[in-house]
Structure 1
Amino acid sequence: MNSTSRRKARKYALQALYAWKTSGNDINLIKLQFLQEKNMHCVDVIYFKKIILGVVKNYNYIDKKIKPYLSRTSKQVDPIEKTILRIAFYELLIRNDIPYKVLINEGIELAKIFGAQDSHKFINGVLDKAASKIKKNIND
């Protein structure tokens, strides 16, 4: 699959994970609803499912890893920003096949689409600090 289909997978995964956290509904029902109701023609559906499963399965671990890079408390972070960070940290920590520059760029793009006016700056700052430190620790 190409980068456009992966970008769309991230976009839908963000929406599904946000719906999961805000509604409290079962993630499998939300995922099924997306697969049935959204135009998934040009979406990397396998990656969409992997993001959702990966974030949900590693939810506490991911949140723990995000916390040191935040310039504010976790409760002060907007739910959309938090979801973008969870997806990016899933890719950073668990998906070693995703270059860190790609995941930073994808996080910024999601923030520009779904976040508040300056969300992309916040996302960039957190991911830039985290990626350089985490990737260095992985490579050491």
Structure 2
Amino acid sequence: MKPAERRRARKFAVQAIYQWQMTQANVGEIVEQFMVDQDLSKTDVEYFRGLVAGVSQTCEELDTKLAPYLARKREEMDLVDTAILRLAMFELSKRDDVPYKVVINEAIELAKEFAAEDSHKYVNGVLDKFIVSQKMRQSN
């Protein structure tokens, strides 16, 4: 799969995850709505589906993994930041085929596009702290 097709999948996934967080609507219905309403040509559609389903199914686990690295409670965070961090944590913890540097870079780019002005710095900091802690665990 081409990197640009995965990038588009992540872009749509963040939007779908955000919608799910806002509405608590059925994830399958949200995905199908995207399939109809959005131009998903040049998008890795299966990756998009897998990201949205994976984040929704493992949301509590992802939040637990993120919690030690957040500067504030997840409930107090902006929902766009939350969607981006959940997506990145899903890829970091469940997608061994994606290098962590790619995940972090993509999360930063998504934050620049969708989130508040300096959110990309916060997203980068949270994910960097997670990666450092994982490397330290592996070396011990």
Q: Same fold (TM over 0.5)?
A: yes
CA drift of 1:36 comes to 1.1
The aligned residue for residue 7 of structure 1 is 7
State the partner residue of 1:78: 78
RMSD of aligned alpha carbons: 1.3
Equivalent in the alignment of 2:96: 96
Alpha-carbon separation, structure 2, partners of 1:62 and 1:13: 16
> CA shift at 1:77, angstroms?
1.3
The 1-side partners of 2:54 and 2:139 are apart by 22
Displacement of 1:71: 1.1
Cα displacement (A) at 1:56: 1.0
Unaligned 5+ runs, structure 2: none
Identity of aligned residues (%): 43
Letter matched to residue 8 of structure 1: R
Instruction: Measure, in 1, the Cα distance between the counterparts of 2:48 and 2:102.
Output: 16
Aligned match of 2:38: 38
**What pairs with 1:43-122 in structure 2 (closer than 5 Å)?**
43-122=43-122
Gaps of 5+ in 1: none
How many aligned residue pairs are there?
140
Alignment partners' CA distance in 2, 1:132 and 1:38: 37
- For 1:53 and 1:107, locate their aligned partners in 2 and report how far apart those are by CA, in whole Å: 18
Q: Cα distance, 1:76 vs. partner? A: 2.1
Instruction: Give the CA deviation at 1:137.
Output: 3.3
Call closer, same or farther: CA 1:9–1:136 in 2, change over 3 Å.
Answer: farther
> Displacement of 1:114 after TM fit?
0.3
Of 130-139 and 38-47, deviating more is 130-139
Q: How far is the alpha carbon of 1:139 from its aligned partner?
A: 7.0
Aligned to 2:43, what secondary structure does the other structure show?
coil
Aligned to 1:127: 127
Letter in 2 for 1:12: F
Deviates more, 1:72-81 or 1:113-122: 72-81
